Structure 1
């Protein structure tokens, strides 16, 4: 690696200051607030919380519903990934499965609940088709379905990515050794993926446990810890100390989950080389898995049909005549268009600034000898474990009495820190794959470190940086849990405006704004993927 310079130390120092200000201080304030009472420092807040039946009930409600949803999600994610990698289904079906599974991640989670209501409620589309509600959508049932829709894309991508690097030749060896089907499946597929499957379950559990959007729209009387935190902080009588305690309680499972993921990663199976050619996939297995996966994906997509039907009907459920009146009304409402513009501003600024922060942090961590480089790995681990509502509450405490309260800057900073882990790891992994002698060679030619980055590093990592931009943009457009504490009437975003529109039963406006988000995210992802494919042909190495 290149010799450490004052420029590297200065950039590292500035970046660490940013993380201290926007990560360490907010979290520290949450912890301090949890011990703050009317008469000074006290443990009474924790005693009251732990001895209150209501809080214990909502905590175990969250554990139970999140656990069940995580099990279902992990099974479905494994099924879809297995169909793609271990059967010989045709390529269009594989593309359809990937598209259908990942589509929900382009929408705010709060929209899922309203879609479920219009799909399975008393006047829902499927209730009308079957002439009766199939089940009660509010409460436990709605939360399970909503959490599965929300967590399935992340779990699927995790298992799907791991299966890409599995060696199918072991299946051939197992066949030659006359192993039984179950024994072959366990040793060649399941056993090498146990850590990944455990990680997918843990990730799905944490995402479900900390989500606010789904229970806010479809939770009903089945209260979970995220809605309790919201009511405590933004209810008729806000209780900051009690809210801080709930945040710490909410943080515990997430931290434990991250520790579990770290332990599971130690048992990863590595291959010296691998072959992706599918071996011994029988026609029967291909047909069964292909049909089964396709039908499940069709079902998942069908749940979202109200999003594309309800806002274009004259008066659902009484008049199904096609109309664009609701769309035109939303476009002509300056308030809603301003909200959409706010979301675009925040998403673009988050993506641009996030690319810079993630690139610098990844560069300092992967390609310098700075002693502080390990701090960025620690930041990535912490941000991965912190629920969005907890971090948002910390920002509320820190900036509540400052001029920065309710500004776009705070929302953008929150998004960059909250979603930092994945972009940082993407950049770091890409940089680690590059030739480590580039900077040394450039230094021998008397090129400065910054010139080397501009002329050599950046051209070879453009693909990854575009992916980071897409990741930050999409997440900034759909996030709701943390920013719910940070927005004001001037900085309200589409994802938080939907919560407000819920109280006035303006579901046409909710669905149309959700479609705006969906279409915007699709356009950004298509443009980014087109750019990546176009420039990959020109020889980008990462």
Structure 2
């Protein structure tokens, strides 16, 4: 038992040291840069920033767009989850809807703006078909559409998962009491989902408020707070203190989000029993819901299909003849191919290292009796509230004079920390379901703690491990906000390279690189699925 305790304690110390160095200290330094002037506490930088009309205008525009996007996203996410969970729609339609809603997760957000531009812009596909654009997509309207597309998958996952824990017996009770449809909907579905819907709203708001990719590609002259932070730090004259103040301002929505969730916690409904639910066919109801979700899914598909149109035309929009020359030219471009390979390398390293960190953090938190083990839950909550751009800026300041600056390692570490929460919660949830008596049995058999981990715990959560690896890999391939301040000329990845290519109007190359990212992420998911199915079949034989 002593051996077990010390091995656990050493891992706990290493994990805490990792998060102190790569999360807490950089954030504290960022806070210090915003309130310290000439070695003394001062509010001069806050005053300078907050009295700047450009900052206040960008801040209120970000708040407005993020709030509207979060509201629309929460409604669409609920509608989609409702269609999949409560209606008797055909299986193929449900699979199509699920696939299209999740599609945006596989492409960098900076690509969304260019897709919208080529679809709805002045020279876009729709404008050429109708003779004029439907609306001006540049600026606020384009950013709003981009934010909705970007945040819909995350909001959908939260609400769709919550539907699995609803006790449908309340629905039957409501029927027996002859409640009308609206009252039944409110009490049996909407009220139990207040917390997940609130979570989806807050997450969508924070993601929209802190995103850099979408406004960078289609924001035009409508500056938002994330673009202002980027310009302040990487402009012709870097202003780190003012940038730190803007970063602190960008952290406020996360704080307000927690307050909001605390307030609505009083409406939380705990269901102690959940069961498989087979929805009854309601032709009119299902037809309406099915039509709405089909339209939503098709809109997403059409937007992303643009990515597969432009690179295969000779000179869009003037010569629409099919060609492969753009693909061939990019494959001959050693710089872009090298950047793509670097992205895959970063994603693989992030997936492996991040999964190890999240896995052992979950073990220490759930399957040990160590003092302070719950501190990892606090760390997970903290990483969930710190936006990627803020973490990237904190790293830029903290590691400015270290050997980590401008290396792949700091890029990988930033992504691991930024996306830590979800893989940690995946592992934690899986481990809490595993029988804890296995640990006692292992101790009686005189197995070491590591033998218990690798022979018992790990084999029984293969699916979760694979999902953790997929999550880290995909996000490492598409992230831009978290690494925009950390890459150098020698450590560019595809998402940041796209940001550079737009300045040279190389949109065809941007779409080809986006296709490569999309295909890479799909291939990784397919391989993972096939491996799990093969492994399951091997165990049954």
Which range, TM-score by smaller chain? over 0.9
Q: Distance in 2 between matches of 1:267 and 1:412?
A: 40
* Deviates most, 527-536 or 322-331: 527-536
Q: Is the 8 A contact 1:172 1:279 kept in 2?
A: no
2:375 corresponds to 1:357: no
Structure 2 runs not aligned, ≥5 long: none
| SS of residue paired to 1:321 | strand
Superposition RMSD on alpha carbons, in Å?
Answer: 1.6
Q: Which residue in 1 is equivalent to 2:444? A: 444
1:100-499 alignment runs, 5 A limit: 100-261=100-261, 264=264, 267-499=267-499
Find the aligned partners of 2:69 and 2:374 in 1 and give their Cα distance: 35
* TM-score scaled by length of structure 1: 0.97
- The answer to whether the 8 A contact 2:361-2:376 is kept is yes
1:67 deviates by 0.4
Please list the CA deviations of residues 123-167 of structure 1 after superposition, one character each: whole Å capped at 9, or x if unmatched: 101111221111111111001100000000001111111112223
* Distance (Å, rounded) in 2 between the aligned partners of 1:189 and 1:230: 42
Work out the CA distance in 1 between the residues paired with 2:231 and 2:21. 27
- Cα distance between partner residues in 2 of 1:323 and 1:229: 40
Between the aligned partners of 1:366 and 1:538, the Cα distance in structure 2 is: 30
* Higher mean displacement: 291-300 or 424-433: 291-300
Contact 1:2 1:439 in 2 (8 A): no
Sort the Cα spacing of 1:44 and 1:408 in 2 relative to 1 into closer, same or farther, 3 A.
same
1:494-534 Cα offsets, whole Å, 9 max, x none, are: 00000000000000100000000000001111112222344
What are structure 1's unaligned runs of at least 5 residues?
none
- Residues 257 and 398 of structure 1, relative CA distance in 2, 3 Å threshold: same
Distance of 1:379 and 1:538 partners within structure 2: 38
Q: What is the rounded CA distance, in whole Å, between the counterparts of 1:33 and 1:428 in structure 2?
A: 35
Q: Distance in 2 between matches of 1:459 and 1:266?
A: 39
CA contact under 8 A between 1:34 and 1:241: conserved in structure 2? yes
1:2–1:440 contact (8 Å) kept in structure 2: no
1:257 Cα deviation from its structure 2 partner: 1.4
CA contact (8 A) 2:74 2:155 kept: yes
Query: What is the CA-CA distance between 1:306 and the residue it aligns to?
Result: 1.5
Closer/same/farther in 2, CA of residues 266 and 437 from structure 1, 3 Å limit? farther
Structure 1 equivalent of residue 45 of structure 2 = 45
**Distance in 2 (alpha carbons) for counterparts of 1:323 and 1:165:** 50
User: Equivalent residue of 1:314, what SS?
Assistant: strand
- Give distance in 2, aligned partners of 1:3 and 1:180: 62
- What does the per-residue CA deviation read over 1:432-479, in whole Å, with 9 as the maximum and x for residues that have no partner? 111111111111111111111111111111211111000000000000
- Matches of 1:262 and 1:90, distance apart in 2: 38
Which range moved further: 27-36 or 420-429?
A: 27-36
Is the Cα–Cα contact under 8 Å of residues 33 and 241 in structure 2 kept in the other structure? yes
Structure 2 distance, partners of 1:509, 1:206, is 30
Shift of 1:273: 2.2
* Deviation for aligned residue 1:304: 1.7
Structure 1 CA distance, aligned partners of 2:266 and 2:533?
34
Aligned-partner Cα distance in 1 for 2:466–2:428 = 14
For residues 305-334 of structure 1, the C-alpha deviation after alignment (integer angstroms, 9 at most, x for no partner) is 220100110000000000010000000000
Cα distance in 1 between the residues matched to 2:294 and 2:366: 41
